[in-house]
Amino acid sequence: MIDIKLIRENPELVKENIKKKFQNDKLSLVDKVRKLDEEWRKLKTEADKLRAERNKISEEINKAKKAKDEKKAWDLIKKAKEIPEKIEKIEEKTAKLEEEIKQIMYTIPNIIHKSVPRGRDSSENVERKKIGKPKTPKFPVLHHAELAEKLGGVDFDSARETSGNGFYFLKGKLAILHEAILAFARDYMIKQGFEFLIPPFMIRRKVVDGVMSFKEVEVMMYKIENEDLYLIGTSEHSMIGRFIDKTLKKNELPIILTSYSPCFRKEVGAHGMEEKGFYRLHQFEKQEMIVICEPEDSYKWYDKMLQFTIDVFRALDVPVRVLECCSGDLADLKAKSCDVEAWSPRQKKYFEVGSLTNMEAAQARRLNIKIEGKEGKYFAHTLNNTVLASPRALIALMENNQTEKGEIKIPKALWKYTGFKEIKPEKAEKKKKK
């Protein structure tokens, strides 16, 4: 959410930002907010005048009583009794206006960073860099779902019976590898100085409204029936929500946290939900990172956080690239964002495995997360980034470390977590045991 002062003082800047995001249907909202805000300020001034008048009358009543002018005192008391009712009516109007303004402000997009490339949608995102050399083996690379079944590491059919599409049972060594990836990502972030958390997996609506745009809520979040609780789509929501209505001391900053959680997403209208495999799911697991910091430090942290994710994937022998999100592909709360994509030898292209976002002050303004400085309080900047989300990371590892025999070679960084260096097809494993 942007500062309403921008709309008061520089509405054209706000409108130009809306145009950059190709949301011209929202242009009229800027003028609507200005009009409502003017009405709110007039009412507030009127209420302040009435309060001042009430205070003045109270002084005059005391003087009249001291002068033993009972009639004047009585007349003033009658007049004073009318004022609270008038103030109450004004406050009811201002409360309604405040709520209407807030709901509109929630839909006006955050001011994007000057470096964000202009574009209508994800097709116009810009490749910034590639890290690691993409390999395309001479043998046919198996689809991860087919390979997982050959390895005896997954049961899709039973999951469809218990839960429907978008779920799976992971088994044996593949399940161990899945957990090893997450454990490695956790330990890597702890080594970078991040505090490790396991957060609540459900959050209240006030936190949901603080961390997400309305459109995202409808297509992503699962609501718990008859309770003010939602299953989290990512642990960033719980971790940022932890600081709702808090004022932080400068010496507490930066706050750098990493967390593990399962993630739950409705994925309404998502392409590929019916496809067999791990790519698009209703449930997955993730290691996340967040930073809450001084405004002047947020883009330094943006660069650092991006490098952390790149380092994790390179340790897993997975080539990646960084794709800068264009203006039209940014959700309304985002000031700047990029996707980290992993190389798929099977598809001979990159696919998304995580994203990094600087919200600047937008989330903090919604959640009322402030910093107490020498010259007063101001809103913090918040950032979030995927360290590693599995099983998408598992797909990338399986494809990039797959052999012609249909085995998976385990990257050295994971050996201490798995206790084995390869996963062979189920038949080969049985033969080996005999």
| Domain assignment of residue 158, yes or no | yes
Domain count for the chain:
2
Question: pLDDT band at 310, cuts 50/70/90?
Answer: very high
For residue 269, the model assigns a pLDDT of 53
| 79, 136: one domain | no
Tens of pLDDT along 196-238?
A: 999 999 999 999 999 987 777 877 899 999 999 999 999 999 9
- CA-to-CA distance for 317 and 329, rounded, in angstroms? 29
- CA-to-CA distance for 58 and 232, rounded, in angstroms? 53
| 286, 397: one domain | yes
Measuring CA to CA, how many Å separate 415 from each of 129, 177, 184, 357, 363?
29, 10, 10, 32, 39
For residue 272, the model assigns a pLDDT of 54
DSSP code of residue 271: T
Q: Which residue has the higher pLDDT, 348 or 426?
A: 348
Of the residues 80, 107, 134, which one is the last residue of a structural domain?
A: 107
Burial state string for 159-182 with b = 16 or more CB within 10 A and e = fewer than 16: beeeeeebbbebeebbebbbebbb
| 78, 182: one domain | no
- CA-to-CA distance for 287 and 285, rounded, in angstroms? 7
Does the pLDDT of residue 306 top 70, yes or no? Answer: yes
DSSP code of residue 199: -
Tell which residue, 373, 412, 403, has the closest CA to residue 150. 403
- CA-to-CA distance for 358 and 134, rounded, in angstroms? 28
Task: Give me the chain's average pLDDT, please.
Answer: 93
Question: pLDDT band at 388, cuts 50/70/90?
Answer: very high
**Quick one: which H or E segment has residue 264?**
strand 255-264
| 198, 304: one domain | yes
Q: Which of 27-41, 62-76, 300-314 has the lowest mean pLDDT?
A: 62-76
CATH number at residue 85: 1.10.287.40
Does the pLDDT of residue 73 top 90, yes or no? Answer: no
| 277, 360: one domain | yes
| 145, 51: one domain | no
| Domain assignment of residue 114, yes or no | no
Tell which residue, 323, 303, 251, 278, has the closest CA to residue 181. 278
Does the pLDDT of residue 426 top 80, yes or no? Answer: no
Does the pLDDT of residue 349 top 90, yes or no? Answer: yes
